[in-house]
Structure formats: C-alpha cells, structure tokens
Amino acid sequence: MVLLRRIIGEALRKRRRAQQRTLRDVSTAANVSLGYLSEIERGHKEASSELLASICEALDTRLSDVLGEVSRTVAGVEDSQRLEKMREARRARVATAPRVDATVTALRVRPLTHPPQRRVRHTVPEARVAA
C-alpha cells in the first residue's frame, strides 16, 4: 500500500530544503509547531487540508504543484508494486507447478533444435611434425 502522507511529507521537505529554510522558519510562517511540521515531513502525522494549505502558502508554493508531484511519485510506487506482485505470482506458479519427469524437463530446458555435431579429430600429419 502507498502511504500518501509519507510522499506528501517528502515533497514538502524537498521544497523547504530547496529554499534553504529551516523547520523553525516555515513552522512559524505556517502557524504550526516545529515538532508537528517535522512529524508531517517525516510522514508520521497526517496534515489536515487547512494545515497543508497553510504550509504551501508558507513555502510560497501552489498546493496543486505539490499534489501534481505527489501523484507522479505515487504512480511510480504503484507501478513498481504492481511489477513486484506480477513477479511474485509468477514465482508462486512455478513453485506449485506439477513436477515432470527428468527426461521431459531436460528436453524443455535444452530443446534439441540442432542435431548434436560429430566431433572431428584434428590430427596433425606426421610429415609436418617431422619438419
């Protein structure tokens, strides 16, 4: 499951750091305690709609820009989680597949598309060796 508050928190922290501002500075501007802002940035607390708007204003950032970035990050996480699920399902299919006897397995693993080549013995003529 994607934890939205963690991704929102990271987006807010990234913007604050890009502006080289301290937690104290932004928390004062947004009228929120320093500790609470820190908890929000680390994804430990949910920010209410009012507080999120207030933090965005303090960062001189549009809420829609933050949400746009967040939705793209969430999409990336969802994609990789989906891929992981597909991989797991495949692994489970392989693990629970009925066993086949050794010969069939061998044929499956290395199908004989080409007939085995004869080994050609290269012998050096004795005349040459003598020379």
Question: Contact residues for a second copy (CB under 8 A)?
Answer: 1-6, 46, 48-50, 52-53, 62-65, 67-68, 70-72, 74-75, 78
Separation of alpha carbons 74 and 24, rounded Å: 28
| Nearest distance, CB of residue 34 and a second copy, angstroms | 22
Whole-number Å distance between alpha carbons of 45 and 48: 9
Taking alpha carbons only, the member of 45, 52, 41, 34 closest to residue 16 is: 41
Q: What would the two tokens of residue 19 be?
A: 């502006």
CB of 51 to a second copy, least distance (A): 10
Closer by beta carbon to a second copy, 27 or else 61? 61
Least separation in angstroms between CB 44 and a second copy: 11
In this complex, which beta carbon is closest to a second copy, that of residue 46 or of residue 88?
A: 46
Q: Pick between residue 78 and residue 104 the one whose CB is nearest to a second copy.
A: 78
CB of 57 closer than 8 Å to CB of 27: no
Longest dimension (CA), the chain: 100
